[in-house]
Structure 1
Amino acid sequence: MIDVILKKGKEKAVLQRHPWVFSGALEKIKGKAENGEIVRLLNNKNEFLAYGFYNHQSRVALRLLEWDENILINDNWFRNKVSSAISSRVHILTNGETDTCRLIFSESDYLPGLIVDKYADHLAVQVLTSGMQNAMPIIIDELKNLLNPLSIFDKSDAASRAHEGLETTNILLDGTPPPQLVIVKENGITYGINITEGQKSGFYCDQRDNRKILASYAKGKKVLDCFCYTGGFTLNCLQTGASWVTSVDSSALAIETLYENIRLNKLPANLHNAVKADVNNQLRQLKENGEKFDIIVLDPPKYAPSRSALTRASRAYKDLNRLGMQLLTPGGLLATFSCSGAMDMETFKQVIAWAALDAGKQVQFIYQFHQPEDHPVRASFHEGEYLKGLLCKVW
């Protein structure tokens, strides 16, 4: 095993079990390590620190796996991590209400760069690191042993793979090709999931709890669901008796699937309208039309992929929320989210406060939304806490 030497004074994060080591923290490499190879990380006194995946192309040169020198990183190590992650989610999937969730959440489940989502009897995986790409034969075999899925589909189409020297993929790894719509249940609501063509791995199961919480306010209310995708918030609000829901998304496929989901759940189509449009433009149009809503959901894509983008992203979040606030009835509710890991909750609150000031509104924060338990946050890896949201009463 090749040794990688850490610069003097760079041990703190490693000793605190943070799984990332940046390329600038490395002193030297004893030998030539291939991308994705498992190496030993040593301090400048040649004392063992950890084992990890190495990649010379990535800013994150090492993704650490194990801090005990006596534990070998072999096939059984990967199998045990996969088994442990899946067993911790069993209770989510055995209540009869839900058969979809995230089974493996990358660094937070000690498998850096691996995401596995379960959609009924099908699995969608995303592989974002070269080390995990090398381990995929073991991972696939263990997933088959534990779950016997009808298919395992690789949705590794994230642009971040380029940083690891990997091309994007969208292929069947095992089993028979999934149908165009895989039918799943979440909190008793039925969804058709397009694994092969949908965004990310096909569905956003990280909003499972938040959809249910928001829907508890929706009875008799007029709702605007922005960045609705295939209708998570829309369906939950209609199910609990919303008087009207308008859904907005720029994706024609998402809108088409949303209408299908309304049919699947036998929800009142006469109380709903979906609009294919840019959300910011649609919000301005609704304001010009004099429209008002009792509840507005703003769940945009990631505006800040890194800390360097945070200033620009903050302006985008502020403008979006200002537009939303202007469309609310007095005392209406704004459910606003950020899935940018670089945006912490306190900064997000400040951005909403600025938006309220620009909109001439008063805002009370009445609830904080979080990612659910199948998206755990590792104590030594706060970057895993990416989804945050606020339920705001706006006057």
Structure 2
Amino acid sequence: MKQLLEVQVKSEAIKDITNGYPLILKEAIRVPEVPMEQGSLMHLVDQHGGYIATGYYGEQNKGIGWILTRKERETIDQKFFAKKLKEAGQKREDFFASDDTTAFRVFNGEGDGIGGLTIDFFNGFYMVSWYSEGIYSFRELIYAALKEVFNVRGVYEKLRFNTNGQYIEKDDYVFGEKGEFPLIVLENGMHYAVDLNDGAMTGIFLDQRNVRKALRDRYSMDKTVLNTFSYTGAFSVAAALGGSAGTTSVDLAKRSLPKTIEQFAVNGIDYESQDIKVMNVFDYFSYAARHGLKFDVVVLDPPSFARTKKMTFSTAKDYPKLLKDALAITNDGGVIVASTNNASFNMKKFKTFIDKAFNETGKRYKVLEQHQLPEDFTVPNNFPEFNYLKVVFIQVMN
């Protein structure tokens, strides 16, 4: 039986919650004297005891929990989770029916009504990611609901949360068929190899699906393409399939080499005709500048934060410098695909980074198109801060 506590919401925070804000901030509530257990249900009330919403207690980033329902009599049980999953699946009927895309997000946390939980679909297999110990405490109910709602081939999970000050990040098989990895999935007709049981990442970032398609369909034909922070080379595959004159993939991780070769191979692309570099991206910029290398298209999709022996990089403060380094090796008329998944700033702020870099290099630019999260990555209405992805295709004018 879940611990159920009445928790008072401070008056200044009530309006946001009643308007649909899904995250329960620590400063928004008066913490009860009774210690709260992870996964405890909280009946949120105003100062007069009037009901506002029901949420669960689960520490995640700047929040201490998420709203589950604004219906006082709604019970948080298997039926509740099955209803949420069914509603999410109905929104994605076109994806389930697609012949050329077999990897997408089925359930996107707070956007689908349960913060701290995401579920991805990979050719019949489901990958469940848990972002707090609180939501993980509902694991049995949610898995029972998953089996009830979907035709499940097999399920894997990833734990990505703090426990007793230790960051937990593990992945594991849960139930159903065990996958044979790499598992080959389709994305807009392109093939990608994924592994659901090999660390925090699967081999492809599903939120960039529309960006890869745009790169393939509109920006790659006969172009030289540089893919920085390339991970498994997914953008490079899209560029090569779009008819690029050649791709260069650069990533510091040693495993990026075999993973990128694998992605080319499953698409029938001769990896030896492409350039794959295992090195620090910033060192590569210097190398390319020294050797007079220039590219028609440069993809910039760095991690929000990275630390090496030589330097620390943060998109929040270093993105303009990254863009300036990229500009130095981009042909006039070329295109930079500037991307970030840092949720701490919005698209408007991101565009100021772009403006700063071009102003400081004395170059003009034109925004060709921009993207945020694709349609399967549902975000809460009226709260754009949860739409973390920001991608801008920029043409260098002179």
Query: TM-score, with normalisation over the residues of structure 1?
Result: 0.91
1:196 match: 197
Q: Is the 8 A contact 2:58 2:135 kept in 1?
A: no
Q: Is the 8 A contact 1:336 1:389 kept in 2?
A: yes
Q: Is the 8 A contact 1:2 1:32 kept in 2?
A: no
Q: Which amino acid aligns with 1:113?
A: G
Supply the RMSD in Å over aligned alpha carbons: 2.2
Deviation at 1:359, TM superposition (A): 2.8
Structure number with the higher strand fraction is 2
1:263 match: 265
Q: Deviations over 1:281-319 (max 9, x none)?
A: 211211111100001101111249xxxxxx953331111
Q: Is the 8 A contact 2:23 2:67 kept in 1?
A: yes
- Give the whole-Å Cα distance in 2 for the aligned partners of 1:379 and 1:163: 34
Deviation at 1:87, TM superposition (A): 2.2
1:48 match: 51
Deviation at 1:268, TM superposition (A): 4.0
Answering whether residue 110 of structure 2 is matched by residue 86 of structure 1, we say no
1:20 match: 23
Deviation at 1:373, TM superposition (A): 0.4
Deviation at 1:61, TM superposition (A): 2.5
1:140 match: 143
Contiguous gaps of at least 5 residues in structure 1: 305-310
Question: Taking structure 1 as reference, are residues 297 and 57 closer, same or farther at Cα in structure 2, changes over 3 Å only?
Answer: closer
- Pairs within 5 Å for 1:277-296: 277-296=279-298
Q: Is the 8 A contact 1:155 1:171 kept in 2?
A: yes
Question: Taking structure 1 as reference, are residues 176 and 381 closer, same or farther at Cα in structure 2, changes over 3 Å only?
Answer: same
Q: Is the 8 A contact 1:93 1:100 kept in 2?
A: no
Bigger shift: 291-300 or 376-385? 376-385
Deviation at 1:77, TM superposition (A): 0.7
Answering whether residue 357 of structure 2 is matched by residue 351 of structure 1, we say no
- Give the whole-Å Cα distance in 2 for the aligned partners of 1:187 and 1:23: 42
Task: Name the SS of the counterpart of 1:374 in structure 2.
Answer: coil
Q: Deviations over 1:250-305 (max 9, x none)?
A: 2222321221121111124353111111112211211111100001101111249x
Q: Which amino acid aligns with 2:104?
A: C
Task: Name the SS of the counterpart of 2:359 in structure 1.
Answer: helix
2:208 match: 207
Q: Which amino acid aligns with 2:341?
A: C
1:155 match: 158
- Give the whole-Å Cα distance in 2 for the aligned partners of 1:273 and 1:196: 28
- Give the whole-Å Cα distance in 2 for the aligned partners of 1:333 and 1:222: 11
Q: Deviations over 1:227-248 (max 9, x none)?
A: 2222221111111210111011
- Give the whole-Å Cα distance in 2 for the aligned partners of 1:370 and 1:127: 23
Deviation at 1:364, TM superposition (A): 1.3
Question: Taking structure 1 as reference, are residues 59 and 328 closer, same or farther at Cα in structure 2, changes over 3 Å only?
Answer: closer
Q: Which amino acid aligns with 1:235?
A: V
Answering whether residue 110 of structure 2 is matched by residue 110 of structure 1, we say no
- Give the whole-Å Cα distance in 1 for the aligned partners of 2:361 and 2:61: 42
Deviation at 1:320, TM superposition (A): 1.0
2:304 match: 302
2:185 match: 184
Q: Which amino acid aligns with 1:155?
A: K
Deviation at 1:93, TM superposition (A): 3.1
1:308 match: none
- Give the whole-Å Cα distance in 2 for the aligned partners of 1:97 and 1:56: 38
Q: Which amino acid aligns with 1:170?
A: D
- Give the whole-Å Cα distance in 1 for the aligned partners of 2:165 and 2:23: 14
Task: Name the SS of the counterpart of 1:101 in structure 2.
Answer: strand
2:176 match: 175
Bigger shift: 235-244 or 5-14? 5-14
Q: Alignment partner for residue 275 of structure 1, among 274, 277, 280?
A: 277
2:328 match: 326
- Give the whole-Å Cα distance in 1 for the aligned partners of 2:99 and 2:260: 23
Deviation at 1:199, TM superposition (A): 4.3
Q: Alignment partner for residue 34 of structure 1, among 17, 37, 42?
A: 37
Q: Is the 8 A contact 2:77 2:141 kept in 1?
A: no
Instruction: Report the identity percentage.
Output: 25
1:340 match: 342
**Equivalent residues, number:** 387
Deviation at 1:55, TM superposition (A): 4.0
Q: Deviations over 1:172-196 (max 9, x none)?
A: 1113442231111111111111222
Q: Is the 8 A contact 1:196 1:202 kept in 2?
A: no
Q: Is the 8 A contact 2:170 2:199 kept in 1?
A: no
1:244 match: 246
Task: Name the SS of the counterpart of 2:208 in structure 1.
Answer: helix
Q: Deviations over 1:112-168 (max 9, x none)?
A: 100111111222111012332121112212223333433211122x3x434898743
Q: Is the 8 A contact 1:58 1:164 kept in 2?
A: no
- Give the whole-Å Cα distance in 1 for the aligned partners of 2:88 and 2:148: 14
Q: Is the 8 A contact 1:249 1:277 kept in 2?
A: yes
- Give the whole-Å Cα distance in 1 for the aligned partners of 2:73 and 2:382: 21
Question: Taking structure 1 as reference, are residues 99 and 78 closer, same or farther at Cα in structure 2, changes over 3 Å only?
Answer: same
Q: Is the 8 A contact 1:125 1:201 kept in 2?
A: no
- Give the whole-Å Cα distance in 1 for the aligned partners of 2:297 and 2:346: 24
- Give the whole-Å Cα distance in 2 for the aligned partners of 1:275 and 1:150: 37
